[in-house]
Structure 1
Amino acid sequence: MQLESLSNEVFHDLFEFLDPIQLIHAFEGLNTRFDQLLFIYFRSYRLDFRSISKLNFHLMCEQYLPLIIDHISSLCLSDDDETPQLSEHLIPYNLTLDEFTHLKSLLLQKIHSSDIILNIITDCSYLSYLTHLKIIECHYTHDKNSKQLISNIWRLIKLTHCTLDIIFEYGLTFVGLSIISTSIKYLSIKNFIFSSIELNHLLKSTPYLQYLCITFFGESTNIELHRINSVPLITNLKLHFNGSLNSLINILQSMPNLLYLTIETGTINLNGNQWKKILIDYIPKIKIFRFLMKILLFKHYNIEEQLEDFLNTFQTSFWLDEHQWFVRLDWPKHANKVFVIYTLPYCFNDTYVIYQNRWSRTTCPNVHDYNSYDRVTNVFYKGHIDNLIVFPVYYPNIRRLTLRLPFDNRFWSIIPTLDRLISLEVIETRENSRSESQLKDLLNRAPRLDFLSVDAMSFLLLAQSNITHDSLRRIQLKHYRTKTNRYMNVTQCSILADSLLGRQCEVLIIRIENRTIILDLINKMYNLRVLNCECQDDNWTNNSLLCSKDELVEWLRNSLPETYFISRYRSRLVRLWINRKIK
């Protein structure tokens, strides 16, 4: 009764924080007021189908989606391991994207069917409110329609934010693109390497761009550059650059009003004085400049003296007083001929490899400033960092961690907290008590951990110790500690299934000796909703593609309820999307 005393506006605010499926499960049918709140007045559903169970997907499509389809503002679709071929499962429910009439944001992830991607984007032309589109980690295999896909995206009249992370198997070109987008202002493109010609055609087709993020591989110094036309509206550029200095100048000349520049490069060796001249001459309005350069040492003697001289060029009044742009220079121990220099605070959030430096300096007046690398979320900790005299650096916000066990004594001073960690991958484990203890410690310190990838033998030791973890729901078991037995047997799988971690597991990736183990795992692991497995007794070969039937897949379909979805994926891997109520 106290809950119902809250106003409708308060309920709307609360509903924003809840998963739509859980929200409808909790309040649908409770009374007339809540039904009206859910299906009439609440108009901001955000549906994320990337980790939905097959049962809930069925309920959503058949019962709830028709009631709220014109209330949905954001939609995420994926064909990854947790929701195999999900986009195809919309078809039996006669659901097409054009029915999401108030959709503002769409994300497509890990979809590897060119026809599905193209059909979805074609349907987007009917969406009058769509402003944000992300297509990430997708594979486009069609040899003719790649330009058609880009043209259809460019035709979306309201689209302002576009992120494309697509591998085009047969290539892509922006040359000859006849469609001009008058709406796209923020554009990020990965897995495509631009030349000056390609970049010029891209900019011609998006004249209202304000933000651009691309990878550029420029022509050599001996090739005449294709002049890039001026694009005065661009104020923010993020560039992964592998080209000549002339190519870089050619790009910057075309963006005279640039205010924010972030560049990562390994092909230009510019010191502080040279950068100063380029910034003043070509982008004089610049406010924030961030870079990371990997530079080949000029000489192989007096190396520390070279590094000091190079660093001194970033300690002039232009850098320290006028702009307060500080840099750090590292000479990694594993790279004898290369040093790395970057601006502070560190602003790159791709996978960061923590390595040992033999020499490190900063231009910050206080060497302890900017030691917290807050934007780094993915870390590969290589170790060993013992007995190293460097400025203390730590990473407080990592979400994905890759490492070897055991790690060294400096680990916890460099990575002081795992409060945000959601993914842990152990790529090597030495068989000793220290490795086992450290793995337990990692799990205990990571309250949000969702995914664990580890050697099967290491996991079985965890399982037999009755360790628990409230949030861990996805497990990948690998076999790097043994060269002979790379498949888990019945006894080992029984230990897994009967363990506390096994009982709560929802997504499992595993190699097993015999297909009958699949039935046992599904029967015992009652929270399991996705099983990706490789069977030793699988007779599948590349020649099986010529056959009309897949023997293992057919056996599973005959042995399991027809509501389960079973498919072959990446040669020997079989994926099962399990349809049952979660206890």
Structure 2
Amino acid sequence: MSHCCFFDLLPAELLYILFNYFSGHEILISFYGLSGYMNAILRSYSSYKLNFKSISRFNFDLICRNIRSEQIISLILCDSDDTSGQSELFFSYFQIEQFIRLQSLTLIEIEFKSLEFIFYNLSKLKQLRSFSFDASTIRHTYGPMNLNFGNKLQQINSILIHTYVQILPQLNCSIDKLETITHLAPQLKSFDVCINFGEINFQPIILPIRLTRLNLKIAYFPMPMDYMEYFLSNCFYLKHLELHLNGYSDLADGQCWQILTNSLITFNFKFDMHICFDCIEQILGSFRTSF
């Protein structure tokens, strides 16, 4: 009597929905080898989310041997004591430019050699939207890096100078740090940033001119409208904008925003404002247009 697998009765579309509730290694470990049909489904699934933190070497090899780089949309690599050398081994299986659908990359206690390699090739990850690592936990030759935090950052900055960074993680920074990022990453195209002015005396914001997408939050400081006009006038390639700002009634000028954002594809905003009650209807009226 031939062996019958229940999952063979289910259409591929339904199995894909089921897979969305599992991590990548859970999918492969649970379903690989059940039947030829299921193996074919696993090879065609294109939304694997791989978390290699604390994974066994056996399961790590099983995944890397039975999955293609273009099937992975999320990846977590970890070089901790339990999985030392994992990142180097991972890139012996795959070429980084083949991750054509990778959207999220997280590095945990990463080896400096691997971090350097990823930085130099970051622009090859065309779909990357999230990239994160902790500079204080960078390792060197399977152990903690014997440098103070400042020296680690200096080495990381020296790497960034020699590469075109397309995507940066969400940053919470000062104006000075933002200027450094603009200098180090002139080809930056997508950026999520929260700026803390700290003092009432603020400076002009200068961003990479190649930006096509910006998610900007300015904390603890009311932004005047004329300042935003100056700021956005330098973003020639910007197509997608999201703003979280504090301000007064001049910031809520719908007609002015229509002029400033006329070339955008998407514009989302949240303004926390101090306004006079008598001005509310006038403010709302300025946004009641076809635009």
TM range (shorter): 0.5 to 0.7
With CA pairs under 8 Å and 6+ residues apart, which has the higher RCO, 1 or 2?
2
Q: Is contact 1:77-1:87 (8 Å) kept? A: no
Distance in 1 (alpha carbons) for counterparts of 2:184 and 2:272: 25
2:158 is the alignment partner of 1:148? yes
Q: Is contact 1:121-1:149 (8 Å) kept? A: yes
4+ aligned runs moved over 6 Å, structure 1: none
The offset of 1:47, in angstroms, is 0.7
Aligned length: 259
Q: Is contact 1:230-1:255 (8 Å) kept? A: no
Matched residue, 2:76: 77
SS at match of 1:154: coil
For 2:50, which of 47, 53, 56 is the aligned residue? Answer: 47
The offset of 1:13, in angstroms, is 4.1
The offset of 1:135, in angstroms, is 1.1
SS at match of 1:205: coil
Distance in 2 (alpha carbons) for counterparts of 1:249 and 1:19: 48
SS at match of 1:239: strand
Structure 1 residue runs without a partner (length 5+): 165-187, 265-269, 294-309, 325-583
Matched residue, 2:230: 253
Q: Is contact 2:119-2:160 (8 Å) kept? A: no
Q: Is contact 2:216-2:244 (8 Å) kept? A: yes
SS at match of 1:17: coil
2:86 is the alignment partner of 1:90? yes
Distance in 1 (alpha carbons) for counterparts of 2:251 and 2:187: 28
Distance in 1 (alpha carbons) for counterparts of 2:185 and 2:196: 17
Q: Is contact 1:111-1:137 (8 Å) kept? A: yes
- When normalised by structure 1's length, the TM-score is 0.36
- Give the structure with the higher percent helix: 2
SS at match of 1:29: coil
The offset of 1:216, in angstroms, is 4.5
In the TM superposition, 1:267-278 aligns within 5 A as: 270-272=247-249, 274-276=250-252
2:128 is the alignment partner of 1:131? yes
In the TM superposition, 1:381-400 aligns within 5 A as: none
For 1:318, which of 276, 282, 288 is the aligned residue? Answer: 282
2:271 is the alignment partner of 1:291? yes
Distance in 2 (alpha carbons) for counterparts of 1:131 and 1:12: 22
The offset of 1:73, in angstroms, is 1.6
Structure 2 residue runs without a partner (length 5+): 139-148, 262-266
Q: Residues 130 and 77 of structure 1: is their aligned pair in 2 closer, same or farther, counting only changes over 3 Å?
A: same
Q: Is contact 1:189-1:214 (8 Å) kept? A: yes
2:70 is the alignment partner of 1:66? no
Deviations 1:376-435 (A, max 9, x none): xxxxxxxxxxxxxxxxxxxxxxxxxxxxxxxxxxxxxxxxxxxxxxxxxxxxxxxxxxxx
Matched residue, 1:262: 244
Q: Is contact 2:222-2:248 (8 Å) kept? A: no
2:35 is the alignment partner of 1:31? yes
Deviations 1:258-296 (A, max 9, x none): 8642125xxxxx532x4346x765774466542347xxx
The offset of 1:65, in angstroms, is 1.5
- Give the structure with the higher percent strand: 1
Deviations 1:173-214 (A, max 9, x none): xxxxxxxxxxxxxxx423x322498179459814755x6533
The offset of 1:235, in angstroms, is 7.0
What is the identity, as a one-letter code, of the residue corresponding to 1:275?
L
- When normalised by structure 2's length, the TM-score is 0.63
What is the identity, as a one-letter code, of the residue corresponding to 2:84?
E
Distance in 1 (alpha carbons) for counterparts of 2:130 and 2:171: 12
Q: Is contact 1:212-1:238 (8 Å) kept? A: yes
2:105 is the alignment partner of 1:107? yes
Deviations 1:136-172 (A, max 9, x none): 55437315323234346625xxx5xx342xxxxxxxx
Distance in 2 (alpha carbons) for counterparts of 1:262 and 1:108: 26
The offset of 1:255, in angstroms, is 0.9
Deviations 1:535-563 (A, max 9, x none): xxxxxxxxxxxxxxxxxxxxxxxxxxxxx
SS at match of 2:154: coil
Identity of aligned residues (%): 12
The offset of 1:315, in angstroms, is 4.0
Matched residue, 2:141: none
In the TM superposition, 1:422-571 aligns within 5 A as: none
Matched residue, 2:216: 238
Q: Is contact 2:64-2:93 (8 Å) kept? A: no
